């Protein structure tokens, strides 16, 4: 098994951006431009590496190579975005990798692009990229190409060597368990479980019981062997169950109007472990959005638009409006899920003004709402815009 933290360090130490790896300060999948850039790099790296993995590291300063981290990004269905726009799409994996010097809520993202023999190309337009366009890597650049692509095997030995020196050891595993329990989460109840004598999962959270159901809040779950964070949230709650062969996480989100909230199951993730040292993750979307009276929602929707307008104009908000502002993103999401089609774009357009607000909880609420909307959108291949 590859220790993903070691792999990232070795990629950064090996060379600057090249034909088998790229680095980004952050991903922006809220906009068509951000999606187009991401898909272009996926296409180019895949075409340039038909026999070896290629990588994108997210959360690294471009010039200084400093590891600064990015938000935890849990969209397991990001593969559907790639499938929606690329013909012959490569298989990709996005993993969240914790680093000791980063805050608890920050990780480094690692995108692994699996090798394949067929050429990837765009099957429909997005932003400035047209259907049938294809790309390759020339040094650190993803470049459009119109001629036939010659197979490139020059990176295979280099990438395999980097992966081999990044493999896990008993020392790394034990250090990871001790660090997780004794240092990173010494103030929260922590547990661990060994599967198939090979895999170690650690988790921590505050237990709470509601209507006979045991939940965990402030949850952190990590697959220690690979230094991969499986789940992190300072707000949402989960239930955890396991047997000798599997570990299951069900995530719940708190939603409602007028300070009346309930827990709604969002997603179920099951990790299946096998005797041959292999594991796989299965994801099932569970979310059924709450339905509300449309007349009542229309009144609340207009109130939210008025509040955002005041904020954008720099007008002073009342104490009550400041409190209501924290609920604006989730309320707009509820409105969108109940048929107010413009609510999603209004939410996206408000990103900067919410991000710059003095209360960090306001922008955190925005990110949570967008995360749920992305999960719902990526649940199927339809509707990518």
Task: Give the model's pLDDT for residue 15.
Answer: 66
The C-alpha atoms of residue 111 and residue 55 are separated, in whole angstroms, by 6
The b/e string for 330-353 (b: 16+ C-beta within 10 A; e otherwise) is bbbbbbbbbebeebbebbeebbeb
| Cα separation values, 139 from 20, 59, 80, 114, Å | 9, 20, 28, 19
SS (H, E, C) 348-368: HHCHHHHHCCCCHHHHHHHHH
The C-alpha atoms of residue 164 and residue 160 are separated, in whole angstroms, by 6
Which of 22-31, 45-54, 122-131, 217-226 is least confident?
22-31
Task: Give the model's pLDDT for residue 382.
Answer: 40
Strands 21-24 and 54-58: parallel
Which of 304, 380, 364, 384 has the alpha carbon at shortest distance from 336? 304
The C-alpha atoms of residue 46 and residue 20 are separated, in whole angstroms, by 9
Helices (H), the chain: 4-14, 32-48, 78-85, 156-164, 170-178, 294-312, 319-325, 328-337, 342-349, 351-355, 360-378
Look at residue 62 and tell me whether its pLDDT is greater than 80: yes
pLDDT tens sequence across 201-218 = 999 999 988 888 889 998
Residues 6+ away with beta carbon under 8 Å from 324: 303, 307
Q: What's the half-sphere exposure (Cβ side, CA atoms, 13 Å) at 8?
A: 27
More confident residue, 281 or 139: 281
Look at residue 273 and tell me whether its pLDDT is greater than 80: yes
| Cα separation values, 266 from 94, 179, 250, 251, 282, Å | 19, 30, 7, 5, 14
Q: Which two tokens stand for residue 295?
A: 């007349």
Task: Give the model's pLDDT for residue 211.
Answer: 80
The C-alpha atoms of residue 130 and residue 123 are separated, in whole angstroms, by 8
Task: Give the model's pLDDT for residue 383.
Answer: 44
Task: Give the model's pLDDT for residue 33.
Answer: 94
- pTM over 0.75, yes/no: yes
């Amino acid at each position: 098994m590859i220790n993903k933290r070691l792999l990232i360090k070795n990629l950064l130490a090996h060379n600057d951006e090249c034909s088998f790896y790229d680095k980004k300060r952050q991903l922006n999948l809220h906009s068509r431009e951000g999606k187009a850039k991401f898909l272009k790099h996926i296409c180019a790296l895949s075409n340039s590496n038909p026999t070896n993995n290629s990588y994108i590291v997210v959360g690294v300063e471009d010039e200084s190579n400093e590891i600064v981290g990015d938000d935890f990004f849990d969209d397991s269905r990001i593969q559907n975005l790639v499938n929606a726009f690329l013909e012959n799409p490569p298989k990709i994996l996005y993993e969240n990798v914790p680093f000791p010097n980063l805050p608890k809520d920050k990780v480094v993202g690692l995108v692994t692009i699996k090798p394949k023999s067929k050429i990837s190309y765009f099957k429909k337009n997005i932003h400035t990229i047209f259907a049938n366009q294809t790309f390759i890597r020339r040094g650190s650049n993803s470049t459009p190409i119109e001629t036939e692509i010659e197979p490139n095997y020059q990176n295979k030995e280099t990438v395999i060597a980097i992966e081999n020196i990044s493999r896990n050891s008993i020392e790394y595993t034990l250090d990871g368990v001790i660090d997780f329990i004794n240092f990173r989460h010494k103030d929260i109840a922590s547990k661990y479980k060994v599967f198939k004598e090979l895999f170690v999962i650690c988790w921590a959270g505050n237990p709470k019981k509601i209507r006979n159901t045991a939940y965990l809040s402030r949850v952190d779950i990590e697959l220690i062997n690979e230094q991969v964070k499986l789940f992190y949230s300072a707000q949402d709650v989960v239930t955890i169950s396991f047997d000798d062969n599997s570990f299951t996480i069900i995530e719940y989100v708190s939603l409602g109007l007028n300070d009346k909230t309930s827990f709604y199951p969002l997603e179920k993730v099951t990790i299946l472990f096998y005797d041959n040292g292999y594991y796989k993750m299965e994801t099932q979307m569970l979310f059924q959005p709450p339905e509300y009276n449309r007349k009542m929602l229309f009144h609340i929707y207009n109130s939210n638009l008025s509040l955002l307008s005041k904020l954008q104009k720099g007008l002073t908000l009342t104490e009550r409006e400041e409190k209501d502002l924290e609920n604006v993103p989730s309320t707009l999401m509820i409105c969108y899920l109940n048929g107010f089609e413009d609510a999603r774009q209004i939410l996206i357009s408000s990103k900067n003004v919410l991000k710059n607000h003095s209360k960090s909880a306001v922008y955190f609420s925005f990110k949570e709402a967008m995360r749920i909307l992305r999960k719902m959108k990526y649940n199927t291949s339809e509707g990518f815009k």
